[in-house]
Each structure stands twice: as structure tokens, then as C-alpha cells.
Chain A
């Protein structure tokens, strides 16, 4: 008997794989660097009712190929169906559903906060704790750059918001697979 298939297949033992994983997914797409590719991906998401949490687009080491990193919620989206639909786009070359424990992901965010004489020191202290950089200062505001995991940026936002968050800009996550130790 061939390895991999049981000798007898009883129908009651057959199970279908579950559609929802219940966790956040980071999809890393390599796409052809051609006009309209982003529109095709955005259009696919909107017409199939998929909701992107974050999206980051940028060049790769190969000028003909761009990388699109997007995150979406596997509790409300059938990730398997999302990747299969994305694969149907001719301009999408490769899709990687990043394994959480084998992935390094980072996001950058810029925060402009109210910084009065009273709370300026405290804000700088937060920035220090989060290894954030203060990149611009005015009489009443400070602009802070934070880089890190999505959770870290969420946490920083929670800390800073009570001080008067004026404006926030986030890049969306980018991710890359961890190298194996022997590589």
C-alpha cells in the first residue's frame, strides 16, 4: 500500500479544513512592477469583500519586482481563499503567508503630540522607553518616530494619546522571513 493514503477511507473520518484561522496574517507578495498592479489587487479585495488592515508597497532587490506586504484578520477572512484569489492575478508572482514565529515584521509610525512645558519631559521619557526618536519640535508640539512591531506601535499610541495626539501616520507592516541559524 502506498505511503500517505490509508488502506481504507471511511467517509465519517473525512474532515474539511477550517476556513478561519482566527489570527492576524501577514501576506508578503512579490508582484511585477507594472502599471495597474496595485489597482488589480485593491479591486480584488474590494469586490470579494476582503478587508485589508495594513498595506505597504515598495521596491525589492530586483527593479522589475515590487513587494506588497499586507495584513488581514484571519478571524473574519478565509485566508486560504484570499491567497488563492490573489494567485489568479497574472501579475502576482509569489505569495507567502508569513509564519508568525519565523517572521520579523516592523512598522514605522510618526506621531505629532501636544508637548507643553508641563508634560514635555514625560513624553521624552516615553520616547526613551520605546526607543523612539524625537525628530521635530515646536513650541507646543513634538514629532516622534517609532519603529517596531505593530503591537509596540499600538502600545506607544495608547501611552501618548492622553497627552494630546494631534496627528499620526503609520506605514503598515513590512516583513521578512527569519534566517535559519545555519544560513
Chain B
């Protein structure tokens, strides 16, 4: 068969039902094959949108997200999404067209060295040099993208090779890659050591991250944390892995985490990190991070262990494998739970003294935190929430209580403005029966607003709740706090008129600037057919607190 058809057959053999992308000269054979293939294709309006949609699809479902782009500018437009998927370990496969083999290296029309450009931001990549490799590489790409620590894999396919005739039989079983053997089973002796350390810890904290969600190990995490009265905190990527609210839940940690979570890390004697990587947004000043703690570090990626913080008990393995063993070993020790009483007294004191709070407005003004609380109520805490990057993202993380994994979809590592809308489209395609709300920032949404057309044309009924403060709010906040209020290039001005823009794209546009009407407006947006954009005018200069200033220590939180 034609290699492009074999590509589609291989995708189907990998279980692909949906893909996102845009055709162009170099990937015309792929699109010709898609004409007949039973893969639902969502034509986005920009390749970056296709990439983030594939990420949203993967994050919402746990399945591999797929995006197509043509050579040159099509492929370079994917770069932000690929980098984003790398930073957040999102299982994705990107298939790009490349110029004809004889043109490679000649600066041909729409030629770009995409495998070269993306080398630092992919888990792996393939440049096809023989048409028989096309389906073979697709199978390998899916295996690599979805196993071990997940990530993006790129397959670059020269146009002439995808038109060649080849023999193809779908591969059976995972491909054998001599240099790729991720270990998922934790060493039992190390696990036993960790259990015994925990049994002797008086101020332990469990610190979970996105790895728990990637490992589908939320149930196992809850089991472990509740095997004793262990306090738990999660990173922005881990939210939902442990249900909020919960008696043992300290809130998110890190730059905009709760004081309780950050103070607990600062005072802990033992920190058990699960699928988290001690990012600078968590640690603040590395040399002053958790100075009293010993570290158990559980991660499927050995390179994360002792990368930033030296681990005392490293455990390489998948959280789904390690956590049940750790729970079993810990239970067998029958540790005296009352040793944690003093610790909890301290934690309860912090919680009482430093609750997450804000000063609500007296009149009709909508505070952004209020908007998130209203959203929580209007969606009954059940919606899948995607977000862009900035203040609204942090407020969502603080005030929307995520109760299940894959409910909260955001760009944590790369911090990509404009992630929210296309990710919401992907999430809705993956989970059509769930309500999907994109909590957008006005600075972010305008960067990807062309994807409003994608939702309208493909009838993807997502809701966008736009937290509109007329600023790139987080940057404005930094200019206010750390750059003497010398505001530069952060004001968004009156353009666009979001209601008219929504209307122009075939969405229902709504506006709300009155606190008293907000919940009803949200409910009617959620109840309406089709995609709805609700432009919510919030306080313009509210700051997001509490906050660990960049490079400061956790105990020096402000606000």
C-alpha cells in the first residue's frame, strides 16, 4: 500500500480516533490518506492550536494526542506546543511533512530542519529516510511517547517517501528499542527503607506532582496518604491527584501555594516526593529549601532524582507500582500515629492563621478570586477546567477545588500563554460528555483567538470564561512589586470587543461586570447550546497572593 496509507493504518492500530492539524504542500499525501481513514480530523486554524489541542486531548484522556503539520512554517508553528508537551510530560505524537528527499539540505521551498530545531524539546524524533520506516516509526513513536515518563515524539516524513508503495502489517506488541527500556518497578529494598524512614518521621509531608496523574496513580496516592495521617500538598501539575477539600490536604505548594503547604515543607523532617521534580517554582531559593528535611524521591525518570535536590532515598519507578508497595510496607510497621499529633497541631495553627483569602468588593465589582469561586459553584465543582498562564491560572489553582485527576489542564512547566482554548477543544473532543470550561486570561486568549473558529466549525461546545482585567495581569503584578510600578507593555486596551468577536466567530458572546449576576450568567453560559464566551470584567489591578518572590525562600512568603 501507499506509505501514507500505512501511516494512517499504523495510527489506527495504535488506537487513534482523533487527530488535529493543518495540511500543506509537504503533507498532502498524509491528508489524502486521511480522506479514507476512519480518523476524525479536527482542522485547527494554526498549528500551535493543533499541538495544544493534542495536549489537551492527552491530558484529559491519558491517551496519546496526535497533531499533523506541513513542512517549514507549519512545523515551526508546532514548536511551542512540542516544548510545552516536553516540559509537562504529555504523551503526544507530532507528524510533520518534510520537503522531498532530494530537496533536503538545499533550502527548498518551505524547508526547515524540524528534527534539528526540535531536538532539545522532544523525548525522541525520527526523520524518515526509507518509506518502510513510516509505519515502523509511528509504532515506535507511540511506544516512546506513552511509556516511562511520557513526552512528545516527532516523526518527520518527506513528501516523496509518503507516496511510495510499501508492504505493511500492523506491528504486534511493543517495538524492541535497545536504548529504551524504562524501568517502572521500584526497588523493594529502597521502598522498605522509605517506609521505615516514614515510620520514624515526626514531621512528614507528601509532595505529589503531575507524575502521579501520568501514572494514573491517584487512587494509590490516596491510599498511601491515608494509610496514616500524612499531610499532603501537590504542585500545580498534580492538582486533582488528591481530592480537595480533604482533612489531610494542605493546598498547593510553591510560588503561589498556601502558606501552610510552604511552611510545612520548610519545617518538615521527611519529604516524600512522588512524580514531582523540585522545580524552581516549588523550591524558591534552592539552598534554603526545606532545610530540615530528608528526601524520599519516587520518579519514573531516574534523571529527575537528585537533579535539583539530593535524594536520601531514591526510588526509580512508576508511582502506580511503587505507592501500593510503600503503603503495604508502611502498614506492616504499625507505626504509632500519635507521633504526628504535634505536627498536626502546628499545621492546624498555620491553617487557622493563614487561610487562603481575599478582600471581597463591597459593591458590584467582581474580584477575580470571586470569579473562580463562582465558577466552582456554577459548575458544581465537576467541570474539566483548562487555563492559560498568569494570575487567573494561579487563582484557579487556589480557589477551584479539584476533586479528581485530569480535571485540571494547564501549562505548568513552559507556562504557555494561549494554551487554554486549544487545550479545551482537545479535552472536549476526548471527553464529550464532560463540561469543559476554559478559564482564559485576556492577554492569553487573544494569542490564539483564531481557534474560536475551530470550535464553531467543528461544533465543539466548550465554554470560555474570560477573566478580563485589561492587563497581562501577572506581568503587571511583577512590574508593580519588583519594578517600581513602571508599567510597560502590559495594558491590553479596549480591543477586542470580545462579545462581538465571539459573535463574529459564530459563538455566543456574553458579558458580565456585576458580582450579583455572575453566577447566573455562568449558569446560562453552561446551559446554552454550542460554544459560549463569557467576558467577565474583573478588578483590574488585583494581585495574586500569597507569593514567594522569585529566588526567595518559602518562609519569606509575602501577601
Q: Is A10 an interface position by the 8 A CB rule?
A: yes
Contacting A at CB under 8 A, from B237-270, are: 269-270
Contacts of B310 in A (CB 8 A): 16-19
- B1 part of interface (Cβ distance < 8 Å): no
Q: Is B547 on the interface with A (CB-CB < 8 A)?
A: no
User: Is B303's beta carbon under 8 Å from chain A?
Assistant: yes
A43 at the interface (CB under 8 A from B): yes
Complex alpha-carbon distance, A31 and B180, angstroms:
12
Is B119 an interface residue, CB under 8 A from the partner? Answer: yes
> B303 to A81, Cβ gap below 8 A?
yes
Q: Per-residue 0/1 for B300-336: is the Cβ within 8 Å of any A Cβ (1 yes, 0 no)?
A: 0111011100111100000000000000000000000
B115: Cβ under 8 A from any A Cβ:
yes
Which single member of B119, B302, B311 contacts A84 (CB below 8 Å)? B302
Are B302's CB and A43's CB within 8 A? no
Determine the chain B residues whose CB is within 8 A of the CB of A17 once the complex forms. 306, 310
Report the tally of A-B residue pairs with Cβ distances under 8 A.
79
Secondary structure of the A side of the interface?
loop
On whether the beta carbons of B179 and A14 are closer than 8 Å, the reply is no
Report Cα–Cα, A2/B329, bound state, in Å: 12
Q: Which of A2, A11, A92 contacts B200 (CB 8 A)?
A: A11
- The answer to whether residues A15 and B120 also contact, given A2-B192, A35-B127 and a CB cut-off of 8 A, is no
CB distance from A42 to the nearest CB of B (A): 10
Of B115, B119, B127, B193, the residue contacting A9 (CB under 8 A) is: B193
Residues of chain B in range 158-205 having any CB-CB distance to chain A below 8 Å:
177-180, 189, 192-193, 196-197, 199-201
Name the residue among B120, B200, B294, B303 with the largest chain A CB count within 10 angstroms.
B303
A85 within 8 A of B: yes
- Give the size range of B's interface with the partner: 35 or more
Residue of A nearest to B301 (CB): A88
The contact of A6 among B119, B196, B269, by CB within 8 Å, is B196
Q: How far is the CB of B79 from chain A (nearest CB, A)?
A: 15
- From residue 2 to 33 of chain A, which have CB atoms closer than 8 A to chain B? 2, 4-11, 14-19, 31-32
B179 pairs with A5, CB closer than 8 A: no
Q: How far is the CA of A159 from the CA of B200 in the complex (A)?
A: 61
Cβ contacts B109-134/A at 8 Å (1 or 0 each): 00000011001100110010100000
Supposing A2-B189, A5-B192, A84-B303 touch, asked if A40 and B312 sit within 8 A by C-beta, the answer is no
**Nearest-neighbor residue (CB-CB) of B270 within chain A:** A11
CA distance A82 to B335 in the complex (A): 39
Do residues B295 and A16 form an inter-chain contact, with CB atoms below 8 A? yes
13 contacts across the A-B interface (CB closer than 8 A): A5-B189, A9-B193, A9-B196, A15-B312, A36-B119, A36-B127, A39-B116, A80-B306, A84-B303, A85-B303, A87-B302, A90-B123, A90-B180
Q: Which residues of B contact A (CB under 8 A)?
A: 115-116, 119-120, 123-124, 127, 129, 144, 177-180, 189, 192-193, 196-197, 199-201, 269-270, 294-295, 301-303, 305-307, 310-313
